[in-house]
Amino acid sequence: MKIAYYPGCVAQESGKELDMATRWVCRALGIELAEFPNFSCCGSGFVDEANEVLNVAINARNLAIAEKAGLDLLTICSTCQGMLSLANLRLKDPAVKARVDGALKPLGIEYRQTVKVKHLLRVLTEDIGIPAIRAKVRRPLAGLKVGAFYGCHLLRPADEMAWESGEEPHAFEDLLAAIGATPVYYRGRVMCCGFPIQFVKPETAAGIAGRQVLDAKAHGADAMATPCPLCHISLDAYQNQAAKAVHRPLDLPVFHLPQVVGLALGASPEEMGLPRHLVSTDSAIAKISSVPAAAARP
Amino acid sequence: MAASTVAANFDVFRFDPARQVQPRYQRYTLELAPHTPVLTALLRIRAEIDPSLTLRYSCRSAICGSCAMQINSKSRLACQTPIGPEVERHGRVVVEPMRNQPVLRDLVVDQASFWAQYDRIEPHLKLDPAHPMPEGRTTSMTPEEVDRFKETPRCIACAACFSACPAVEADPAFPGPMALAKLYRFVVDPRDGATQDRLVRIQPNGLWLCLRCHLCTEACPKDVRPSERIRDLKEMAIAVQGGTEHGSKHAIGFKDNIVDLGLLNEMKLVRQTFGVGGMLGQLPQGLKIWRKKPEVIRKPHRIEGADELEKIYAELDKRSETPK
């Protein structure tokens, strides 16, 4: 399949390892990524707070770029997924559509609302499919207990996103089971990582991230995995602050979604950019390396 | 013909803080039709098995808002939640008190903090002398003006949103979704004369602590959609006051960043939000991240076609309607 690749800002800057892992996994699964250097940021929820119509308009421009190429759009970030989907939804309101069209038209841009916005998690579980992924596993993550951490905007508001349940999703856990890991169910998996107020009240944001990591640990997780690079910043890059806020050591490795898939499909830790993480992933890698690859093949 | 029944296991939170050091979960098993509400099951447990089970309820019709509790970790009205899907998905029904409020006994919580936050927003009309009630009319609103309230008048103050909110959990300063949805209702009321003052006063340690995680909108039994109204309040607060808080500065800075470059520049944004002085506080953590991820410090990159974003913004600005 061919799809318009929307990497988002973070995967092009501090979250470069997410971009590396996504490209590796898509290559391995035959997903062709079409690239568009004129994609802008999705606004990350902050532009929506400042100016709702502007947020819809910048994303209508992004969607129009994919539409012109006749492609659906792939996101690798829960927030990008949420903001681009929100634009599609808000454009159903004729008053919003008229204002946005009015701003795009002088630039010769038209968006006819035909583009589907799909997160990598959905492409892997629906378009590629669990059986196809299971068949390609070369190194099952046997023995590794992983707590999925979804990220709010992939799930909610659920009536508007209409893909997964907003409070009881299962796609990520299904995928983790398919690659041989043991999914860990904990309340925090659908909670917030605290990122949106990282710049408002850092100590509160750190406390929120810390609670979710503690919850995953309390349920036996050896690692967490997230489909959102903003959650990854809160849970990995700021995990030391989170530990301070909850007054407990955390030291829990946090993977990006395509990293766990890539590792199971045979990628090396370096190919997945794991040395770039702030919290070492060595303990998790040691667990999966101790299982002989051939013996554990499903 | 009676519907077929299921053997449903209930694990109910039991705690009397005055006499016990820690809570326990008590298992009750009942044969019930799948459409039976959790509240009905709890009342049967109390009537037939254990009269000491303590809970709040009144109308049994999702109107009074008394029976909010956690059902399999979701904040719900017990009278409105059938047991069938819960048993199917979880194999049992775990019933616990609401979160973010201290337990008084079993499923009953102390709601003082919830109501204190409600009082904080001054939930009454402050009549605008310039907009008096016409003689002989009880309302001076047009149907279009009433529409501006959106779904907020449906709120039954059940506190399910307050229980589900991670910002409330982490920071007692946050007013919570219900209080902010109520605030919205007064801010858009054409009869209210204190709109600007309300928008100014809710910002410090208030409005900008919302995480926009939408867990409140998910929990709300009346589809009030608090998270979406909180977003509206943020845009209105910026319109009234510009960037005064870290939250509003960040939103404005982010917007300017995108309109200018098309992409986010992480360094530039931190400077816009915290100022040069505030950036120093971020420095130790920034260096730790930079050692692993050197891309955090790089020259601002402009996307191809960034000028289009400026033009879109200018065009929208030109046509913008003036808010109330």
Residues A231-268: tens digit of each pLDDT: 999 999 999 999 999 999 999 999 999 999 999 999 99
Give me the percent of chain B exceeding a pLDDT of 70.
95
Task: Looking at the structure, tell me whether residues A273 and A154 fall in a common domain.
Answer: yes
- Is-contact B239 B324, C-beta < 8 A? no
Q: Which two tokens stand for residue B180?
A: 């902010």
pLDDT, tens digit (0-9, with 9 covering 90-100), for B60-107: 999 999 999 999 999 999 999 999 999 999 999 999 999 999 999 999
Strand order in the sheet with A117-119: A32-35, A2-6, A73-75, A117-119
Binary contact (A208, B167; C-beta < 8 A): yes
**Residue of A129, A2, A52, A95 whose CA lies nearest to B239:** A52
From CA A284, how far away is CA A67, in angstroms rounded? Answer: 41
Q: How far is B144 from chain A (nearest CA, A)?
A: 15
- Tell me the CATH number of domain B6-108, given options 3.40.800.20, 3.10.20.30, 1.10.8.60, 3.40.50.300: 3.10.20.30
Asked if residue B322 has pLDDT above 60, the reply is no
| Tens-place pLDDT, residues B26-42 | 999 999 999 999 999 99
Residues pairing with A84 in the sheet? none
Paired strand residues for A119: A75
Tokens 């809570």 belong to: B23
Residues A82 and A218 in one domain: no
d(CA A191, CA B220): 16
Q: Which of B170, B250, B292 sits opposite A278 (nearest CB)?
A: B292
Is residue A61 one of the residues assigned to a domain? yes
What's the CATH number where A82 sits?
Answer: 1.20.1050.140
Q: Report H helices in chain B.
A: 38-44, 83-90, 112-120, 143-147, 160-164, 166-170, 177-187, 195-201, 215-219, 226-241, 246-261, 266-292, 306-319
- pLDDT band, residue B276 (cuts 50/70/90): confident
Mean pLDDT value across residues B222-250: 96
Residue with tokens 């692993």: B292
pLDDT at residue B2 in the model: 56
Is A166 an interface residue toward B (CB < 8 Å)?
Answer: yes
In a domain, A251, yes or no: yes
User: Is the minimum CB–CB distance between A169 and chain B shorter than 8 Å?
Assistant: no
List, in sequence order, every beta strand (DSSP E) within A78-170: 117-119, 145-148
Mean pLDDT of A129-133: 97
Same domain for A285 and A138: yes
A143: contact with B, CB 8 A cutoff = no
Instruction: Report the pLDDT averaged over residues A19-38.
Output: 98
**E strands, chain A, where?**
2-6, 32-35, 73-75, 117-119, 145-148, 182-184, 223-226, 254-256
Tell me, what's the pLDDT at A83? 96
A153 occurs within a structural domain:
yes
Other beta carbons less than 10 A from residue A68's beta carbon: 14
Cross-chain CB nearest to B218 (options A9, A103, A167) = A167
Give the Cα separation of B51 and B307 in Å (integer). Answer: 70
Quote the DSSP letter at residue A123: I
ipTM surpasses 0.90? yes
Query: What's the gap in Å between the CA of B125 and the closest CA on chain A?
Result: 26
Query: In angstroms, rounded to a whole number, what is the distance separating the alpha carbons of residues A197 and B229?
Result: 18
Cis peptide upstream of residue A157 (ω within 30 degrees of 0): yes
Q: A267 to chain B nearest CA, in Å?
A: 20
Task: Give dist(CA A13, CA A8) in Å, integer.
Answer: 9
Residue A178 lies in a domain: yes
Q: Is B170 on the interface with A (CB under 8 A)?
A: yes
Q: Is B176's Cβ below 8 Å from some Cβ in A?
A: no
User: Inter-chain contact B213–A191, Cβ cutoff 8 Å?
Assistant: yes
Q: Are residues A96 and A13 in the same domain?
A: yes
CB contacts < 8 A (A, B) = 195
pLDDT at residue A159 tops 70: yes
- Start-to-end C-alpha separation, chain B: 57
Pair A113, A158 in one domain:
no
Beta-bridged to residue B28, according to DSSP, are B10
Alpha-carbon radius of gyration of chain A: 19
- pLDDT at position B271 is 79
Nearest to B295, CA basis, from A17, A195, A264: A17
Q: Are the C-beta atoms of residues A96 and A90 closer than 8 Å to each other?
A: yes
**A61 — contact with chain B (CB < 8 Å)?**
yes
User: Where, residue-wise, is CATH 1.10.1060.10 in chain B?
Assistant: 111-131+142-241
Confidence (pTM): 0.94
Residue B183 is which amino acid? L
- Tens digit of each residue's pLDDT (9 = 90 or more) over A271-290: 999 999 999 999 999 999 87
- Residue with more model confidence, B74 or B277: B74
Q: What is the mean pLDDT of residues B240-268?
A: 91
Task: Let me know if residue A109 belongs to a domain.
Answer: yes
The two beta strands, B103-105 and B74-77, are: unpaired
CATH 3.30.1330.60, applies to B111-131+142-241? no
* Domain, as residue range, for A180: 132-289
The whole-angstrom distance between B263's CA and the closest CA on chain A is 5
Angle at CA A163, nearest 5°, toward A158 and A166?
A: 35
Are A156 and B217 in contact (CB < 8 Å)?
A: yes
Q: Chain A within 8 Å of B251 (Cβ-Cβ)?
A: yes
| A151 near B CB under 8 A | no
Q: What CATH number does the domain containing A263 carry?
A: 3.40.50.11810
Q: Are A200 and B244 in contact (CB under 8 A)?
A: no
What pLDDT is recorded for position A297? 44
- CB contact under 8 Å between B292 and A240, yes or no, is no
**pLDDT the model gives residue B323:** 44
Domain count for chain A, please give it: 2
The chain A residue lying nearest B242, using CA atoms, is A50
Interatomic CA distance for residues A224 and B228, integer angstroms = 29
pLDDT value for A298: 41
CB B80 within 8 A of CB B223: no
